[in-house]
Amino acid sequence: MTEVAKPKQSHHILRKIGRITLKTVLFLILFVVLLVLSLLTPPVQNFARKQAQNFLQKKLKTRVEIGKIYIGFPKDVVLDNIYVEDRQKDTLLYGGSLRVDIDMWKLFKNEIEIDQVKLASMTAKVKRQLPDTTFNFQFIIDAFASEQKKPASTDTATLKMDVRYVQLDKIRLVFKDVITGNDMDLWLQHFDTRIDKFDPSHMAFDIPRTNINGITARIYQSKPLIEPKPDAQQMAEAEAD
């Protein structure tokens, strides 16, 4: 009788372990599903909007506002009603929406794969005025370039980036540079392009198709404050850098 009871007892233990394992796996799956679904709820997305807005304001040391953020996991990221101020308290970027179709799973593999970038109803004001001799967006480059100066760890793979399609609708660009004497107001109704190869690290690009519609511009040219250098001198200085 004792020899018969042992196999039954072992079988019962295995079934118990199996049930516990199955419940654990189902719980983890349910947790991941609930986590993903929570990203789609307005309260969580509003929390993400505030965090992104606060991060950018502290990073750039200027006023940044994001009216709405939508994260359609695992692909879509949409930002609406964006406002970025320059250091002179003037508008640098203002507009309707930025939609990015990005593979979020590949971010964990140190890869950025963007299927689409769509920018709509946006205004950008690029200026260079005295006494400052740099453009009003330079502080953004400086803020993020400071991190790149840190030595990279030897076990970190090179970041790969791929962009396949770009679309711009109803874009206004205001450009004023007192140094070169350029004053321009450009309106672009529509622009789209397909990109077959995008390799900024090697400056290699393949753009087989581009569509542009509805360009209007107002351009004034005044005498530049600084005479441009000869092309040969500019090329020599660029090679030296």
Phi, psi values for residue 195, rounded to 5°: -120, 115
pLDDT range class, residue 35, cuts 50, 70, 90: low
Q: What is the pLDDT of residues 62-74, one digit of tens each?
A: 999 999 988 776 6
Q: Is the pLDDT of residue 10 over 60?
A: yes
| CA nearest to 163, candidates 133, 216, 204, 135 | 204
pLDDT tens digits along 115-166: 899 999 999 999 988 777 789 999 988 887 755 555 544 444 455 677 889 9
pLDDT tens digits along 197-216: 877 667 777 888 899 999 99
Distance CA 222, CA 184 (A): 11
pLDDT at 156: 42
- Contact between residue 192 and residue 213 where contact means Cβ atoms under 8 Å apart: no
CB neighbours of residue 187 within 10 Å: 14
- State what percent of residues in the chain have pLDDT above 90: 32
Question: CB–CB of 164/157 below 8 Å?
Answer: no
Ranges of each domain in the chain: 63-149+156-240
Q: Is the pLDDT of residue 233 over 60?
A: no
Work out the average pLDDT over 188-200. 87
- Average pLDDT along the chain: 79
Phi first, then psi: give them for residue 138, nearest 5 degrees: -60, -30
